[in-house]
């Protein structure tokens, strides 16, 4: 398995519920560009090597589109660049992994991880941007409401 230093592609899976209704994914891309929060593990870009970034939604509950989308990524990498999925790190965004104003932690995370493995991405990393304000609200129990779907 390649280490974070050897990954050169980060794919972030966002909650479709959040992405469809409010979130453009800016905070996650910002955190990635700044190499902070869950992205602090990746080296800064250099003229010799840069880490690329792609975000996508899970496709809606229960996240069955994840397999198709990741297979699409794997095929594209193979066809266009002759590379395998081992160079890719898949993250589940914090809107998936943590309770927030969109809803609680996704109840389908284990299934989504299994789907990622089916597509050839067995190592899925939890979290992306981690907002201190949201962390405080979580600690206060402000995001305990169940999903309405």
Residues at the contact surface with ligand SF4, assessed by CB under 6 A: 15-17, 58, 60-63, 96, 106, 108
Nearer to ligand SF4, 8 or 102 (CB): 102
DSSP per position, 83-127: --GGGEEEEE-HHHHS-BTTBSS-TTHHHHHHHHHHTT---EEE-
- Cα(3)–Cα(100) distance, integer angstroms: 30
DSSP string, 57-87: E--STT-THHHHHHHHHHHHIIIII---GGG
Nearer to ligand SF4, 7 or 108 (CB): 108
**Considering beta carbons, is residue 15 or 38 the nearer one to ligand SF4?**
15
**How many CA atoms within 13 Å lie on the side-chain side of 149?**
11
> By C-beta, is 8 or 14 nearer to ligand SF4?
14
State the minimum distance, in angstroms, from the CB of residue 29 to ligand SF4: 18
Least distance between ligand SF4 and beta carbon 48 (Å): 35
Min CB(2)–ligand SF4 separation in Å: 26
Residue 140 CB, shortest distance to ligand SF4, in Å, is 22
Q: In the chain, how many H helices and how many E strands?
A: 6, 4
């Amino acid at each position: 398995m390649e280490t974070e230093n050897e990954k050169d592609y980060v794919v972030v899976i966002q909650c479709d519920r959040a992405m469809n209704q409010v979130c453009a994914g800016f905070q996650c891309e910002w955190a990635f560009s700044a190499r902070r929060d869950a992205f602090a593990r990746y080296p800064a870009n250099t003229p010799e090597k840069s880490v690329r970034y792609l975000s996508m939604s899970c496709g809606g509950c229960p996240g069955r589109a994840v397999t198709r989308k990741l297979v699409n990524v794997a095929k594209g990498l193979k066809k266009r660049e002759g590379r395998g999925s081992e160079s890719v790190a898949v993250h589940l965004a914090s809107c998936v992994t943590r309770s927030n104003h969109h809803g609680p932690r996704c109840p389908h995370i284990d299934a989504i991880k299994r789907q990622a493995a089916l597509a050839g991405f067995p190592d899925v990393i939890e979290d992306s941007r981690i907002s201190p304000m949201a962390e405080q609200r979580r600690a206060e129990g402000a995001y305990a409401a169940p999903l309405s779907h």
